[in-house]
Amino acid sequence: MSKITVIGTGYVGLVTGACFADLGNTVICLDIDAERIEGLHKNVMPIYEPGLEEIVERAYRGKRIDFTTDYPQALKEAEYVFIAVGTPSGENGEADMQYVEKAVKQIADTIDHDFIIVDKSTVPIGTGDWVGDLIRERIKDDSIQFSIVSNPEFLREGSAISDFMHPDRVVLGSTNPAACEKIAELYAPLRCPILFTDIRTAEMIKYASNAFLATKISFINEIANVCERVGANVIDVAKGMGLDSRIGPKFLNAGIGWGGSCFPKDVKALVHIAQQYGTQPQLLQAVIEINQQQRKRVVDKFKALLGDLKGKQIGVLGLAFKPDTDDMRESPSADIIRFLLGEGANIKAYDPEAMEQAREILPAAVDFRENAYQVVDGADALFLATEWNEFKQLDFDQVGKLMKGNLILDGRNIWDPDALIKMGFKYVGIGLGQHK
């Protein structure tokens, strides 16, 4: 049993804290957001993540997890201090390090015993050294020993608990092998491969991994656009490619592009880092550009199919950047809705979990509805933006009766084109050359 403090109770911090507590450690989660902490004391989750509530509740009942806004209380007995605060995009695409800096300064000002600081936030290469300097500058008692370990997080929103508990690998980077060994012990129950590196390499592994996944998606979207022109089917193309063990089937689903709290900011940050060090990351810049174009292409398709969009009613199903999360950060649906409103279309929208977050960021003109059928009622067109399970088997007889028009634009290729065409719909997917 170890004593762990986690700074930040967002997707990464809360999941990390809850999972380590579930494994039998004593965890204190700290956040500067008092409302979050108050809610957590009443088992109100600040985010939607399948399975999280149950784990937090169990650990809280067992007194293995607690929540606070108070740094001295959080750090009192901490052996390991995990940093999991946000690193959003700054003005020029760089990672905004203000939250990490504040957290590190508060740790340095407060802690009065030896500790290991473990960075889980995604941070620019060289941050580990900077954090070390910052602590050395501020810490009052020079006899306090500390080490820094970079431990990038690879969990996915929507399956965060399972990803944490069954990781493909854990990466630990440090100048102090003994510190790495101690953190490795925390992960020992997960029985996964653990890779030991230096700090900069660990920091780079995170950026390189996200950039590669984003590249795969932009790649298949580019192929999808060619498929549409040449009359090929990108779903089968991806299948044919994915069966090649050198390529693999994952992250080859053509659609309306990637979004979320990580890929957009991390690819931009990597571009920024590369430029800062005097290299031109041409591939990464193209990956970003293709992703932006993919959103605009949806509007072009609507214009080609419906003509002038002024006054046209479009029903949007799904708003979150992917299913099983309520995260709206950089969601493709948000840009597409803004573009469609800009063309004069009227939008009705529904998402199973992200309505509250969507209301905060989308224009007031969006008419939020309570289910899929209310969204299609009177619509000239239906647009599927997020592939939630509950949309996979809609009652299309009912949809057909409720819609005014018959156009379905399936932004995630989840429906059967032939079946829908047989029912009288005009079906358009992404990269389906024979159904364009």
Ligand X SMILES: NC(=O)c1ccc[n+]([C@@H]2O[C@H](COP(=O)([O-])OP(=O)(O)OC[C@H]3O[C@@H](n4cnc5c(N)ncnc54)[C@H](O)[C@@H]3O)[C@@H](O)[C@H]2O)c1
Catalytic residues: 262
Residue nearest to ligand X (CB): 10
Q: Does 167 bind ligand X (CB under 6 A)?
A: no
Binding mask 112-131 for ligand X (x = CB under 6 A): --------xxx---------
Q: Does 94 bind ligand X (CB under 6 A)?
A: no
- Give CA–CA dist 254/400, Å, rounded: 26
* Least distance between ligand X and beta carbon 67 (Å): 11
| Helix 98-110 vs helix 127-138: crossing angle, to nearest 10 | 40
* Least distance between ligand X and beta carbon 297 (Å): 26
Q: Which is nearer to ligand X, 66 or 410 (CB)?
A: 66
Task: Give Cα 164 to chain centroid, integer Å.
Answer: 14
Q: Which is nearer to ligand X, 37 or 420 (CB)?
A: 37
Query: Tokens 């479009």 sit at which residue?
Result: 314
Binding residue for ligand X (CB under 6 A) from 4, 6, 9, 65? 9
Selection from 99, 138, 102, 92 nearest residue 122 by Cα: 99
Binding residue for ligand X (CB under 6 A) from 43, 54, 92, 102? 102
- Give CA–CA dist 4/149, Å, rounded: 14
Stretch 252-291 residues interacting with ligand X (CB under 6 A): 261-262
Amino acid identity, position 281? P
- Give CA–CA dist 379/349, Å, rounded: 11
Upper half-sphere CA count for residue 417 (Cβ side, 13 Å): 18
Binding residue for ligand X (CB under 6 A) from 4, 30, 366, 385? 30
The 8-class DSSP code of residue 408 comes to E
Amino acid identity, position 386? T
Q: Which is nearer to ligand X, 353 or 380 (CB)?
A: 353
Per the rule left: phi > 0, alpha: psi between -120 and 50, beta: everything else, 343 is alpha
Q: Which is nearer to ligand X, 168 or 244 (CB)?
A: 168
Q: Does 385 bind ligand X (CB under 6 A)?
A: no
Where along the sequence are the contacts to ligand X (CB under 6 A)?
Answer: 7-13, 30-33, 36, 84-87, 99, 102-103, 120-122, 153, 155, 157, 261-262
